[in-house]
Structure 1
């Protein structure tokens, strides 16, 4: 007999909210997340971060806000967009048919590919949001009719078939894998573990501020990490080699997670800051100095902003 799908109300009853997960579950999840984060850092492409620029993030966050989607969807969609576009562009660059078409015209291959993607990109971005939302398993799903109406409001004339085909293209391009680590998941997991290890730390109150801090860091990523690179290398103009090595730091979700929590703690509960930084270092193995440097650099940009 086929199993009945859970209703949205039933899914809400079975889904764990912040602060409800058992420590054993959190421990397993943290180990698994750490492993995925390491795998991601070991397989970074040269185009890493190219599709995480401020304007793209603002667009994704605004779409999620307009459609009343959970903020986690935006961060997940960003990861999907980055991976899909790098692979898609790579495939286009090595496809003989594309190269032949470009060679017959007085333009470069890059120009030809840009023209192909210029009109498709907004729909690709939206498809990443849709896939991320489906992975979130929340009750607020955007059906195809709603998606078409929303895209029409944005000035995109698309059909239901086009929307579904785009989503399938992205899904296939990602090789049917959507479970990539994202920074909000890192923050939530680390904050829950911190709350278990140090009950005196008001993790639930920190949680709301952490979301705002994370969004600020995501939008101001280029400036914050550039400042952190200069502090780390102790050079006002880091070399190309130093910048290339530093790319892994910019994509480390664990470092970002502890940095966000450290910043939020500094703002709300400064008297517990050293205690929290020490516990975060113990949980992740990231040095206290690295956490302090990240927090101080972020705070400097928040104050200066």
Structure 2
């Protein structure tokens, strides 16, 4: 092979494997790496707080029921996290009407009670906005949106649905461009296939989608296990957990970890080769990739053993 691609990318939808030129792939990889590093260097308070199993399950079920691309679901998760982190801070900064400044706990409870009633519509708005980000995706018009919400027990008028969508859009400062872990998996697979043509990336991709979904839904347990392995501490301190957020929010690490797990399951003979190439592509150490894969596999097979 005349050229090998190093480093990282930029978001493009509808990526087809083995169809992208070297120059485009290289630009994608570099831009993705820059975007990932920028996000990790600018993590806000509460990063990852809304990536819990229940809301993610809710988002995935909505996208499945509406026949949307899985990419939409992952994008919606990121939009929800970004919106809610900012929205909560804005709400807590201004006590609700009737609350006193000397009773912060009481008005916090009021705010959370109000959010509980609105949360389903906020999540749906994130799905709608994520879906509109990808022009090739199946569009859900307002009538279909209202019918779907009614079918799952959420009563809302057309105007209410549109108002929530606009509220979330404004809360995101009209910026729907966020990091998306599935897109990272796709671009890393494309680069891997370019550098190592013998790797069956088309088959790996189907398994990668299942692995990514599992890791996303079991995110808390998996990253908690990874934290304990990294710190070699059964009960990591608060400071250690706070520093570890840069690991939990690292889309590049998640991407290589997903591919490593899928390769271990599908084509074990290629595993060391793939891990080495992923390390070469991203500059993430083999040890970090291996640790991530080991922990994810441990949870997939449901064992406490550290041997993989």
1:193 aligns with 2:191: yes
Which residue in 1 is equivalent to 2:99?
Answer: 102
Q: Secondary structure at the match of 2:98?
A: helix
User: How do residues 135-154 of structure 1 correspond to structure 2 at under 5 angstroms?
Assistant: 135-154=133-152
Contact 2:96 2:111 in 1 (8 A): no
The 3 A distance-change label for structure 1 pair 16 and 50 is closer
Q: How many angstroms apart in 2 are the aligned matches of 1:223 and 1:76? A: 22
User: How do residues 218-297 of structure 1 correspond to structure 2 at under 5 angstroms?
Assistant: 218-297=216-295
Contact 2:18 2:194 in 1 (8 A): no
Contact 1:72 1:184 in 2 (8 A): yes
User: How do residues 67-146 of structure 1 correspond to structure 2 at under 5 angstroms?
Assistant: 67-95=66-94, 98-103=95-100, 108-146=106-144
TM-score after normalising by structure 1:
0.91
User: How do residues 1-20 of structure 1 correspond to structure 2 at under 5 angstroms?
Assistant: 16-20=15-19
The 3 A distance-change label for structure 1 pair 62 and 283 is same
Deviation by residue 1:52-89 (Cα, 9 ceiling, x = unmatched): 10011111000000001111111100000001011111
Which residue in 1 is equivalent to 2:35?
Answer: 36
User: Could you tell me how far 1:281 is from its partner in structure 2?
Assistant: 0.4
Q: Secondary structure at the match of 1:120?
A: helix
Contact 1:61 1:74 in 2 (8 A): yes
Greater share of helix: 1
Contact 1:262 1:276 in 2 (8 A): yes
Q: Unmatched 5+ residue regions in structure 1?
A: 1-13
User: Could you tell me how far 1:216 is from its partner in structure 2?
Assistant: 0.5
Deviation by residue 1:154-190 (Cα, 9 ceiling, x = unmatched): 1122111111111111001000111101110110010
Q: How many residues align?
A: 290
- Post-superposition, which runs of at least 4 consecutive aligned residues in structure 1 deviate over 4 A? 104-107
Q: Which moved more, 1:121-130 or 1:20-29?
A: 20-29
Contact 1:36 1:180 in 2 (8 A): no
Q: Which moved more, 1:196-205 or 1:107-116?
A: 107-116
Contact 2:131 2:137 in 1 (8 A): no
Q: How many angstroms apart in 1 are the aligned matches of 2:282 and 2:101? A: 54
Q: How many angstroms apart in 2 are the aligned matches of 1:199 and 1:235? A: 41
Cα RMSD, aligned residues only: 1.7
Q: Secondary structure at the match of 1:108?
A: helix
Which residue in 2 is equivalent to 1:7?
Answer: none
Contact 1:265 1:273 in 2 (8 A): yes
Which residue in 2 is equivalent to 1:5?
Answer: none
Q: How many angstroms apart in 2 are the aligned matches of 1:249 and 1:160? A: 40
Contact 2:146 2:157 in 1 (8 A): yes
Contact 2:260 2:289 in 1 (8 A): yes
1:202 aligns with 2:183: no
Q: Secondary structure at the match of 2:173?
A: coil
Q: How many angstroms apart in 1 are the aligned matches of 2:173 and 2:180? A: 18
TM-score after normalising by structure 2:
0.90
Q: Secondary structure at the match of 1:187?
A: helix
